[in-house]
Amino acid sequence: MNRFGFWGLTGRALLLTPSDQRLSEIVDRPQSVKPLAFRKGKDGFTLIELLVVVAIIAVLASLLLPALAAARAKSARVACLSQLHQLGLGFALYLGDQQDHLPDRRDLKLSLGYRPWTDWPPSDPRGGWTFEALAQSGGGAGMCPALVHRPLGQAIQVLQTVSSNGIRQSTGFWLWRFDRADAVVPLDNFWNKTPESALEDFRASLLNSTTQPPDGLSGVELAVDPYFPRTIPSVSPALSGRSAHRGGRNRLMLDCSAAWFRDNRLN
């Protein structure tokens, strides 16, 4: 091909006009492709479009995070209830082995360091003594998993570390009906009582109280998560309103059932 034409398939030279020649040069010229980020026009994202996307992500995150937090809190309550059910099973097996009598291990209560507080709790409901007392019946009180790595779980009124047969156990549940080690068992304590006699004594202890007496064993609390009501003036400000679970607590009842209860005195 020369300046003004090229050879066709027949071997004859075909003449090109100047305009045709320029068109041929444009077609044959290598075309450069610019990266997407440097293209002009409507191929890229504008600042407004990016801001809209960021705003949508923020809205979705604000809707999703509370749901995730609620799911995590529910999972913690379920894990805690499992610990209380295990403790209830230990009590049930003990009752079966001991002619339907609850344990009387005030000696363990004293040896582990019975120390009623001047603020809250006013007695010592810690359940470390159950670790040895119920060792042959499935194990004693453990600790709510939600407290293991939290400052509340390390509070002296909550944590009690005990040992039995070379095994160390951290306990953190409270048992209000085994909170004193008096020589004469108070009406509201259950040492060495049958569940039925414990219920009758507990009702008698409420005769001069504004608290409604329980209808049956399912209305008597046996064990509970530690909690510090904000309505009690003696509770220290650092602990006021705090509990293992937000807005309530898990409870094990005297009939060995366990459930979560809302408590408006807690944060």
**Rounded mean pLDDT of 51-71?**
85
Q: Residues near 262 by Cβ (< 8 Å), separated by ≥ 6? A: 247, 248
**pLDDT at position 9 over 60:** no
Q: b/e map of 172-190 (b: 16 or more CB within 10 Å)? A: bbbbbbbbbbeeebeebbb
Q: Residues near 43 by Cβ (< 8 Å), separated by ≥ 6? A: 36
Alpha carbon distance 15, 8 (integer Å) = 10
Q: Cβ–Cβ contacts within 10 Å for residue 233, how many? A: 8
pLDDT attached to residue 34: 52
| Contact of 212 with 181, CB cutoff 8 Å | no
For tokens 């066709």, what's the residue? 8
Length of the chain: 267
Task: Give 34 or 190, the one with higher predicted confidence.
Answer: 190
Q: Which two tokens stand for residue 137?
A: 């019946």
Predicted TM-score of the model (pTM): 0.76
pLDDT attached to residue 166: 78
Alpha carbon distance 59, 65 (integer Å) = 10
pLDDT attached to residue 80: 95
Q: What does the DSSP 8-state code read for residue 30?
A: P
Q: Which two tokens stand for residue 1?
A: 């091909």
Give just the sign of the alpha carbon dihedral 15, 17, 20, 26. Answer: positive
